[in-house]
Amino acid sequence: MNVLACIKRVPNTGAKIVLTDDNQRIDTSNLGFTMSPHEECAVEEAIQQVETHGGSTHVLTLGPEEATEQLRTGLAMRADEATLLETDGEEWGPRETASAIATAIRDLPEDDAEFDLLLFGNESADMANYQVGVRVATELDLPCVTGIKSLEVEDGVATAKREIGGGEEVYEIDLPAVVSVKEGINEPRYASMRAKMQARRQEVGRLEPDRTEAPGTFEKTRLEAPEADDSDAMVLGEGTDAVPEIVELLESEIEVL
């Protein structure tokens, strides 16, 4: 079984989001980057499925040259191959992204072994457009299900489960299929030091994606970091001395006692 996991490089924002002066992007000068948590689970899921069923795993991202860092994280987790759809670092919208990924999937893998399972994160951490996986599926005419937190494959059929209030919806889908997953579907492994070293030397394929025009526009004009309430909390006290204060708070203010 050949499994593809599509991932995205996002800033590891900490306690506060700071924007660049032109309000066009997050000021990342003091930030590290990571892949979105849902996608980390997509990579883990791809690897686990191939561990069970045999085959090969491929990680793919559309992003700037620096996004090879996230592909190498995938390789260090023991994905077999990686491909970068290299952009100039501009933020691409969901339709352009989906179209470029669909085109790349048609061309990969080289030996014409088609992907049986195409995994996406349910929504990216930084943009949360909730549509790239679905649009890719439509372009490739593949069945698709989103928001999945449990996945089992047997005899070419994927049984996928989505959490709903009080239970789970169960889907059964013939492969090949697109599945977008949520964090919690598995516990992503930590790569060993050795695997990280090896991943650094592994080859990353590169493709230059075309930025296609589609009818209509969905385009960012600017970002805004809403005023956070930065007034300090009322300090009830230090250490166990504060306990009577907390009890008083829970009793009279919050009224939960």
Partner 1 sequence: MILGFVEHESGVPEETSLEMLTMARELATDEEAVLCAVVFGDEGAALKDELGPYGIEEIHHVTHDRLEGYAPEGWGESVAQLVSDLGASTVAAAGTDRGHEVLAHAGATLDAPMATNCVDVTGAGESYEVRRDRWGGSLVEHARLEGETKLVTAAEHEYPIEEAASTTEPTVNEFTPSLEDAHLRVRVERVETADEEGIPLGEARVVVGGGRGVGGPEDYDKLEELADLLGGTVGASRAAINEGWRPHDDQIGLTGAQISPDIYIACGISGAVQHMVGCKGADKILAINTDSEAAIVQKADYAVIGDLHEVVPELTDAIREVT
Ligand X SMILES: Cc1cc2nc3c(=O)[nH]c(=O)nc-3n(C[C@H](O)[C@H](O)[C@H](O)COP(=O)(O)OP(=O)(O)OC[C@H]3O[C@@H](n4cnc5c(N)ncnc54)[C@H](O)[C@@H]3O)c2cc1C
Task: List the interface residues with partner 1, window 26-45 (CB under 8 A).
Answer: 26, 36-38
Residue among 111, 208, 229, 252 that touches partner 1 (CB under 8 A): 229
Backbone angles phi, psi at 149, to 5 degrees: -120, 10
Nearest partner of 204 among 90, 98, 87, 58, judged by Cα: 58
Interaction residues for partner 1, span 185-224 (CB under 8 A): 187, 214-224
254 binds, among partner 1, ligand X, none (CB under 5 to 8 A by kind): partner 1
Nearest distance from C-beta of residue 124 to ligand X, angstroms: 9
The identity of residue 67, as a single letter, is A
The answer to whether 54 contacts partner 1 (rule: CB under 8 A) is: no
b/e per residue 134-161 (b: at least 16 CB within 10 A): bbbbeebebebbbbbbbbebeeeebebb
Residues 168-187 that bind partner 1 (CB under 8 A): 168-174, 177, 182-184, 187
Residues near ligand X (CB under 6 A) are 10, 12, 34, 36-37, 125
d(CA 40, CA 45): 9
Residue with CB nearest ligand X?
Answer: 125
Q: Is 121 helix (H, G, I), strand (E, B) or coil?
A: strand
Neighbouring C-beta atoms of residue 199, cutoff 10 Å: 20
For position 247 contacting partner 1 by CB under 8 A, the verdict is yes
Strands 144-148 and 117-121: unpaired
Least separation, in Å, of the C-beta of 137 and partner 1? 8
Distance of closest approach, residue 1 Cβ to ligand X, in angstroms = 28
Shortest distance in whole angstroms from residue 184 CB to ligand X: 10
